[in-house]
Structure 1
């Protein structure tokens, strides 16, 4: 990590509201969790008096089965962001050039700078056309946050092939891919996939996720990862959730239906971006502060999306349960 970079950087703004009296649409997490989570967590607590078994066999097996790879390709992480920090620490050296999509997840920029790398910002809809020979790492967010669009599989595979030929690592952040019918890039040589249990399973505080990598890069990541990466309860709950594919299917159907219903209403006031994710990016011709404040006065929190690089007139709203979504729509006067 670059000590000078630490002195020049600050924290990144995120969604999330701590006030329980407000309905939070600023964070894109599932309002539902799989059944049995509390029971599994409580059952794991007694074992927390000992260190976790560092191979995480059950968690790796569940993650591998969920995503369609072998267990040894899974690198456990305390959330996908922790996994990406591990990846960047392994592959990014001082001065390395890293393609970062924009607008996109703000932590990419900060994490690359913390490792001494140089972010090269590319519009998110032009990332598939980048020349990887000019860069040391390429980052793709699929679907992209905050815009919501996912990339065509053929375009992603073409980029992966070009990256492999250039010996450039491709990192694909698939935090929201569970909400789509797109295939994962997991198991593709030269590609490191980052996955999160936060979004689809509605457990942001659990801090559980994983990377998927192959070959020598997988070996290096597994050696470099911190010992006891996941707490015992996080590993147990994570494995439990990853086995509940019926919950995932139901969630995807519900989110897709509600997303389109919300879009129809929101488009009466905002310019709404296409989305395959559990959120909608809305451009307004009014003051963003006024829109955000008016919604909050009505008990609803929406994300001020001007905190994303390149956006200056946008809000982002999550997709939740029908009655919750109705409250959002009323708060936004649509």
Structure 2
């Protein structure tokens, strides 16, 4: 990490609120966690009196099953963002150019800048067509945040193949891929995958995630990660959740149903972007976005101001959770649930 770049860096806006008295639709997290999660956490808390096993064998095995790789390719991290940082910090030198999608998650560009690299902003679909030889790393977000667009896997694999030929790292942020049926890019020689338990398992405060890589990239990540970077409760809860495949299937179906119902209720009042993710991006057109956000907050609902994403100037993002939140969203946005 470049010292001067750190001094010039700024924090990135995110969704989420600490106000427990509102319905938070600004953060795209599952309102449910797998059955038994609390019991696993309580049973493991006592183990926090000693250092955890730094090998994290059970966590790595559970994660490997999810993405279809060997457990040795999994590198545990305290959340998906820590995996993103590791992937970029071990690939980007001062002055390096990195292809970054925009609009997309603002932390990509921040992490590149912290290494004194240069983020080169491209439309998410344009990233798929880049010449990897022009960059030290390329970033893709699947599905993209905040648009929800899911690139075709064949296009992603083609990009990964070109990155392998050019010796360029492809960082695939798969934070929301578990909500889809698309296979992970994990295991490809050019790819570092970043995943977390934040979104799909509804545990943003646990701070558990992992990177997946092969060969020299995997060795770099494993060496660079901090020792004991998952607490004992996070590792145990993580392993438990990652084994709950039935819970994931149920969550996918709920989100698919409610996303469709929410989209149908919001159109044509809003221009709604197609999405494969647990959120919808709304173009508010001529509406006063500040007034819309403030009005929703007065009614006890927090929406995500998507104008903080590069290239968006009249947008909000709405999380998709369950039938009750769908009804409430349509009500707050002046769309009757009966119309949905």
Q: How many pairs were matched up? A: 334
Deviation of residue 241 (structure 1)? 0.2
**How far apart are the structure 1 equivalents of 2:314 and 2:23?**
22
- What displacement does 1:131 show? 0.8
Deviations 1:45-92 (A, max 9, x none): 111100011000010011111211000000000001011111211111
2:43 and 2:101 map into 1 onto residues whose CA distance is 42
Match of 1:302 in 2: 303
Partner of 2:338 in structure 1? none
**Helix, strand or coil for the counterpart of 1:199?**
coil
2:19 counterpart of 1:19: yes
Q: CA RMSD in A?
A: 0.7
Q: Deviations over 1:306-326 (max 9, x none)?
A: 000000000000001111221
Correspondence for 1:320: 321
Please give the alpha-carbon distance, in whole angstroms, between the structure 1 residues aligned to 2:135 and 2:19. 43
**Equivalences for 1:158-307 in 2 at 5 Å?**
158-285=158-285, 286-307=287-308
Q: CA deviation at 1:126?
A: 1.0
Work out the CA distance in 1 between the residues paired with 2:128 and 2:87.
21
Aligned to 1:98: 98
Mark the runs of 5 or more structure 2 residues left unpaired by the alignment. 336-340
The corresponding residue for 1:154 is 154
The Cα shift of 1:116 comes to 1.1
Q: Check conservation: 2:169, 2:191, Cα contact below 8 A.
A: yes
Instruction: Provide the C-alpha distance between the structure 1 equivalents of 2:244 and 2:181, rounded to a whole number of angstroms.
Output: 17
Check conservation: 2:191, 2:213, Cα contact below 8 A: yes
The residue number in structure 1 matching 2:133 is: 133
Residues 26-175 of structure 1 correspond to what in structure 2 (within 5 A)? Answer: 26-175=26-175
2-side partners of 1:190 and 1:4: how far apart? 30
CA distance in 2, matches of 1:312, 1:177: 26
The alpha-carbon deviation at position 268 of structure 1 amounts to: 2.9
Question: Can you list the C-alpha shifts for 1:278-326, whole angstroms capped at 9, x where unaligned?
Answer: 0000001211111111111111110000000000000000001111221
In structure 2, distance between residues paired with 1:58 and 1:157: 29
Cα separation, 1, equivalents of 2:36 and 2:230? 19
Runs of 4+ in 1 over 2 A off after TM superposition: none
Equivalent residue of 1:211, what SS? strand
Greater shift in the superposed pair: 79-88 or 166-175: 79-88
Deviation at 1:216, TM superposition (A): 1.2
- 1:333, CA displacement in angstroms? 0.4
Using the size of structure 2 for normalisation, the TM-score is: 0.97
Indicate if the aligned counterparts of 2:67 and 2:183 stay in contact, CA closer than 8 A.
no
Measured in 1, the distance between the counterparts of 2:185 and 2:211 equals: 11
Distance in 1 (alpha carbons) for counterparts of 2:220 and 2:107: 23
Supply the distance in 1 between the matched residues of 2:57 and 2:160 (Cα, whole angstroms). 29
Extract unaligned runs of 5+ from structure 1.
Answer: none
